[in-house]
Structure 1
Amino acid sequence: MNLIFAGTPEFAATALQALIDAGHHIVAVYTQPDRPSGRGQKLTPSAVKALALEHNLPVYQPVHLKASTTEGLAAQAELAALVADHQVDVMVVAAYGLILPQSVLDMPRLGCLNIHASLLPRWRGAAPIHRAILSGDTETGITIMQMDAGLDTGDMLSKVHLPIDPKDTSATLHDRLAVLGGSAIVDTLAHLADYHAHRTPQASGHATYAAKLSKAEGKIDWSCAAIVLDRLVRGLQPWPVAYTQIGEDILRVWSAELVHDRATHTAALAGEIIAVDKHGISVVCGDGQVLRLTQLQWAGGKPLNSVQILQAQKLSVGQQLQ
């Protein structure tokens, strides 16, 4: 097919590579403008742009596509010309980050398809991978959706399910979903007429919203159950990362694990350290269960594994995390 691809991060780049490998003709690639990155705040291209340039694909980076401004109208006119000149069949969208108005959605012959990293209508919105882990979901997946003007509200063309492993972080689940998204869009395009014929409207009454993450959500409340805090650590890795305090020091918690141990610490308070050893820092949670912190980072330092934490001798039994 003649395709236009719109996406920005690594998740989208994986899908773009799958479409290239499948032999589709990528007419143009749309991605967000280069952003400052790193300590030097150097302008850095998105993962999608880097891949597109590697394959000599034309790249377009409008700030937005809203018809309410001169700039947006010009970007829409440029896109419409591309669609007409190259007889574009479909625009494939994956984590693009810009709102596509209805006028844009109607441009390609068969409309716009979105690769969404959840089993819609569950987890519409910006952070479906993280919210699935934070909520304790046991499965997620990819939905290929016919886009409309709503927020992830379009008809579903195909769904592929993926179990969530109890040790999955948002990073590991992201990588598996990215590969799954690439294969799902290739399959959907290969059988598009059949998928269109059996498209399914979403049951909006069952919809949940995956709100964008904030740094404040990373604060660990030790009065919560250990299983909830385990999900917090895994769901907020690699960003914004869960954190706790000891005195004035902020500790970022990069990884942790559940410890099935109640009997030896019945008098310990929530947030109290009950063991410091080569396995990590064992902390009592609000339900009496234990969460073992296995990778920590002090402000200004590098993440330390459990053995390095023990060697640092900064934490000891009886101290209280806040």
Structure 2
Amino acid sequence: MKIIFAGTPEFAASALQALLDAGHEVVMVLTQPDRPAGRGMKLLASPVKQLAERHNITVYQPEKLRTAEQQAPLTAVDAEVMVVAAYGIILPQVVLDMPHLGCLNIHASLLPRWRGAAPIQRAIQAGDTETGITIMQMDAGLDTGAMLSRHAVPITNADSTRSLHDKLAEYGAQAIVAALQNLPLLQSNATPQPVAGVTYAEKIRKEEAGIDWQMPAADIVLRLRAFDPFPGCTTLHGDTLIKCWAGTASSEQGVPGTVLAVDAQGILVAAGKGAVRLTELQRPGAKRLGARDFLAGGKLQVGEILR
């Protein structure tokens, strides 16, 4: 099938690779413009662009797709379908209507739950036990299009956004290949999204990183899992900002933020209800470390207050 592919991060690159492996003709890749990254703030190509260039696929990187001039390269390739995965740029209706079979989106949730920018993180943060992949026929709304297929994926207590992302990327890649094999049938039986059960996954903000030790321990642990690898949860030990990457909830009680115990198994900190045993931490400029190695680089004392 003759495809335009639109996507930017690793999640999307997995789907692009699967489409290429399945023998589809990807005639153009849309991806966001190169962005500054790293300490040197050098321009970095997206994972999707890097993959496209390795396969000699035409790459188009507009800032927007609002004008006829910006849209002209898409019209010229005369694609049968556009596949969209975490592209990050709004597609106006005129673009959605360009491919003969429309635009399909690989969305990392079981719609209508968690429409929006951060469905993986918000599902973990909310304590959901299940998420999945929805292949959707795109319309001009925010993830409001009719559903062609849904594929459930369990969320385990061991999952962080990092691990769940990788699972969903694999499922999404498989799901879009399967959808294209049966596209006319799926489109004729597309299911409108129900009104009931709609939730929105707002973009993760760096300001959410700070741990509020007044929260219940179970909710703090969910945030640790949801914010790994970005933005990471943080707490202050004196004037030092420590990133907290992993932990478990415990039933111990104390004044919120107080260090209750320090040992090789972790740093036990009182929360609003229960306590959190922090098991993986990181000092500024250092690597992520397990509790034992972290403590070797500088002690925390029982009774100290984290904030």
Q: TM-score, normalised on structure 2?
A: 0.97
Contact 1:280-1:292 at 8 Å conserved across structures: yes
Counterpart pick for 1:278 among 256, 260, 264: 264
Q: What are the equivalent positions in structure 2 for 1:302-321 lying under 5 Å apart?
A: 302-321=287-306
* Aligned residue identity for 2:302: V
- Is 1:218 the counterpart of 2:213? The answer is no
Distance in 1 (CA, whole Å) between partners of 2:215 and 2:175 is 38
Matches within 5 A, 1:92-241: 92-241=83-232
Corresponding residue to 1:80 among 75, 81, 85: 75
- 1:290 pairs with 2:275: yes
Gaps of 5+ in 1: 68-72
Q: How many correspondences in the alignment? A: 307
Q: In the aligned structure 2, how far is the partner of 1:138 from the partner of 1:304?
A: 28
Question: Higher mean Cα deviation, 308-317 or 39-48?
Answer: 308-317
Partner letter of residue 186 of structure 2?
Y
Contact 1:275–1:317 at 8 Å: present in 2 too? yes
Matched residue type, 1:181: G
User: Which residue number corresponds to residue 63 of structure 2?
Assistant: 63
Partner in structure 1 of residue 36 of structure 2: 36
Query: Structure 1 residue 248: deviation in Å?
Result: 2.0
Call closer, same or farther: CA 1:112–1:134 in 2, change over 3 Å: same
Structure 1 position 297, deviation (Å): 1.7
- Describe how 1:47-62 pairs up with structure 2 within 5 A: 47-62=47-62
**SS of the residue 1:315 aligns to:** coil
- Deviation beyond 4 Å, 4+ runs, structure 1: none
Q: How far apart are the structure 1 equivalents of 2:33 and 2:62?
A: 7
8 Å CA contact 2:282, 2:294 repeated in 1: no
User: Is residue 280–residue 309 contact of structure 1 (8 Å, CA) maintained in 2?
Assistant: no
* Deviation for aligned residue 1:171: 0.7
Q: CA RMSD in A?
A: 1.2
Where structure 2 has 5 or more consecutive residues not aligned to the other structure, the ranges are none
Q: Answer whether contact 1:5 1:16 (CA < 8 A) is retained.
A: yes
Q: Tell me, yes or no, if the aligned pair for 2:5 and 2:83 is still in contact at 8 Å.
A: yes
Deviation at 1:316, TM superposition (A): 1.2
Do the aligned residues in 2 keep the contact of 1:32 with 1:96 (CA within 8 Å)?
yes
Hey, what does 1:70 align to over in structure 2? none
Deviations 1:204-253 (A, max 9, x none): 34211100111111111111111100001110111111111122221110
> Quick one: which amino acid aligns to residue 145 of structure 1?
M
How many Å separate the matches in 1 of 2:80 and 2:96? 12
Q: Which SS does the other structure have where 1:113 is aligned?
A: strand
**TM-superposed deviation, 1:41:** 1.1
Greater alpha carbon shift after TM alignment, 203-212 vs 38-47: 203-212
Q: Identity rate of aligned residues, in percent?
A: 54
